[in-house]
Structure 1
C-alpha cells in the first residue's frame, strides 16, 4: 500500500490557517507530522489533534529553529521509519485542493508505469487570485488525461516526494536553512536520473513572502524581508559552485542577480537593513558561508 506521511513545517503560524490545513490534509494521509520551529501553545496543540480527527498526529520539536532543510530531513526520516512510500511536504502558508494527495499519488503511479523516474510530483502553487505562481509552460502532450509538465524543480510545499527516490538523491541541504533548498534538491535529483513533475490541474493556494513586486511586461519578483533577501542571494551564489547545477541556471543567476538586487534596493529606499542583507548575502555566498541567518541578523522573537 502506498501510504503517505503529510509533513508540515511551522514557525509562529497563524492558528486558524494551520487548523484549516490540518483538517484539509489529514483525511488523505496515513499520519501527520508537524515540525514546530517555534513553540506551539498547548491549546493550539489540542486543537490541531482535534482537527486531525482519527489521523495520528506527531509533533516534532527541535531545540531551536533549524530551518526548512533540517525540518524536511526530520520528516523524511519519520516517513522512512514508518515505511511510507511518500512524504507530502507542506509549509504553514499553503492549502492544497481537496483530494490533492491522492491525485498526486495516482499521477506518480501513472508516470512510473510509463517508464519515468519521478522523484516528486507536485501541486500547482497559485496565488490569491488563483493564478499560477511563476511561468507555466504547456503540459507534456503524452499524458492528456492526467496532465503533468516536467520541471527543473518544484516548490517544496505541495510536493509529493517518493521516499525511494529520496534515498538515492540524498538529504535536503540543511545548511541552506531557507531559500533554494527545493531548487538545489531538484537539480541534484535530475543529475542522478530522476525527474520532477508538476500537475497543473491540482492547485494549491500558497503565499509568497510579503507578496509580489510587479514589474513591466508582466514580470514579478517575490517581495522578501531582509533576512530572506540575504539567504536568497547567499544560497543562489553558493549554488554556482555545485557541479550538478546546470550551466544555464548558473548563467541565469549571474545575469539576473544584479537587476534583482537593484530592484530590492530601490523598493526599500536603500534602507540600512536591506543594504546589509545584500552586502552580507554577496559576501557569504561567494565564500559559501551558510547556516542560520541569525549569524547576520538578530534572532526572531
Structure 2
C-alpha cells in the first residue's frame, strides 16, 4: 500500500511461551519485513534453535508475563530507532498486507497531524462467528461497531496481538503495567493512551485470523470463549484492581460489574473442572480487593 509517506522499517515484538516449530517459522517470516524481537517467557530456556540470525532474541528464562515481555521488546525497538511496533502473540498469522499497511497508515495519519497511539486490524475467529466488532465503552454494556467498510473506526480498546503501536507516544503514555501480568494489560494501556489525548483506530479492511480467548464452550445455546482456571484468576483479579482506579472510565467499570456474576454462572456450568474455575475466579476477586498484583 503506497501512501506517499516515507515509512521507516517498522519493528515487531513476538512473545514466546513454549513455542513449537511453527512459532519459530512465523518469527523468521516477520524478520524479513520488520526489525523483529522475540521475547521468550519459557522457563529455564535461554536458547531456541532455528531462529533467523536477524531476529533479536531476549530469553527471560521464566514467565515474567505479557506486559513485561512487551515492554522489553518495545524498549529494544526504540534503541534500534523504530517508530512503530507491530505486536504479536506467538501464534499470530499476519499477512504481508497487514505488515505493510498498518505502519503505512499510522505514518500517514500521524504525518497529517493526527494523535494516534495505536491502530489495529479486525479479528476473524470462526469459532465465535467470524470477524469481531470494534469496541466502545458505554454504561453497563459494550457498544460493538461492525468491522466493515473502508472507513477507520475510533475505538476505546484494541487488543494487543496484531496491532501497530506508535512509538513516538511511548514515553508520554508509559509502558504496559508489569503487575497486571496478563489480562487487561492492553485495555489498561489503551485507557491511559486516550487520557493522554491519543486515538485508538480500528482498520476494518485489514483482517487477521486470531483466536479471541481459549477454546469456546456452549452454555444455554450460546458460545463463550474460555480460558484456564489460572487465567480466570487474573481476569477477576485485574478487573477488580482496575475498577478501583479513578482514571478508568465508569462506563467500562459498570460493564465489568454486570459481567462478573454471569461469568461465575458460566464457570459453574462447565462440563469439567468447574470447581477449579470458580475457585480461581473467587481467589482472583479476593486478591483484587486486597490489592495483590503481580504473578500468581
Q: What is the TM-score with the length of structure 2 in the denominator?
A: 0.86
How far apart in 2 are the matches of 1:133 and 1:10? 25
How far apart in 2 are the matches of 1:24 and 1:203? 18
Q: State yes or no: 1:164 paired with 2:168.
A: yes
Q: Structure 1 stretch 104-113 or stretch 233-242: which is displaced more? A: 104-113
Q: How does 1:77-92 map to 2 (within 5 A)?
A: 77-92=75-90
How far apart in 1 are the matches of 2:148 and 2:209? 23
Give the CA deviation at 1:174: 0.7
1:71-128 deviation line (CA, Å, top 9, x unaligned) = 0110111011111101111111211122212100121123224442110011222214
What is the number of equivalent residue pairs in this alignment? 279
Contact 1:93 1:207 in 2 (8 A): no
How far apart in 1 are the matches of 2:261 and 2:37? 40
Structure showing the higher helix proportion among its residues: 1
**Which secondary structure does the structure 2 equivalent of 1:6 belong to?**
strand
- Structure 1 residue runs of 4 or more that deviate by more than 4 Å after TM superposition: 39-42, 138-141, 214-217
* Residue 110 (structure 2) aligns with: 112
Contact 2:232 2:280 in 1 (8 A): yes
* Residue 299 (structure 1) aligns with: none
Alignment CA distance shift 1:154-1:220 (3 Å) = farther
Give the CA deviation at 1:138: 4.4
How far apart in 2 are the matches of 1:202 and 1:125? 9
Q: State yes or no: 1:25 paired with 2:24.
A: no
Give the CA deviation at 1:241: 1.6
Gaps of 5+ in 2: 1-6, 135-143
Aligned to 2:226, which of 220, 223, 226?
223
Q: What is the TM-score with the length of structure 1 in the denominator?
A: 0.85
How far apart in 2 are the matches of 1:205 and 1:292? 29
How far apart in 2 are the matches of 1:37 and 1:269? 28
Q: State yes or no: 1:284 paired with 2:287.
A: yes
How far apart in 2 are the matches of 1:269 and 1:10? 28
Give the CA deviation at 1:133: 3.3
Contact 2:268 2:275 in 1 (8 A): no
* Residue 252 (structure 2) aligns with: 249
Alignment CA distance shift 1:139-1:274 (3 Å) = closer
How far apart in 2 are the matches of 1:234 and 1:205? 29
How far apart in 2 are the matches of 1:58 and 1:226? 33
1:19-44 deviation line (CA, Å, top 9, x unaligned) = 34224422221x211111115585xx
Contact 1:96 1:123 in 2 (8 A): no
* Residue 11 (structure 2) aligns with: 5
Structure 1 vs Structure 2 CA RMSD: 2.3
How far apart in 1 are the matches of 2:243 and 2:287? 13
How far apart in 2 are the matches of 1:118 and 1:4? 16
Q: State yes or no: 1:150 paired with 2:148.
A: no
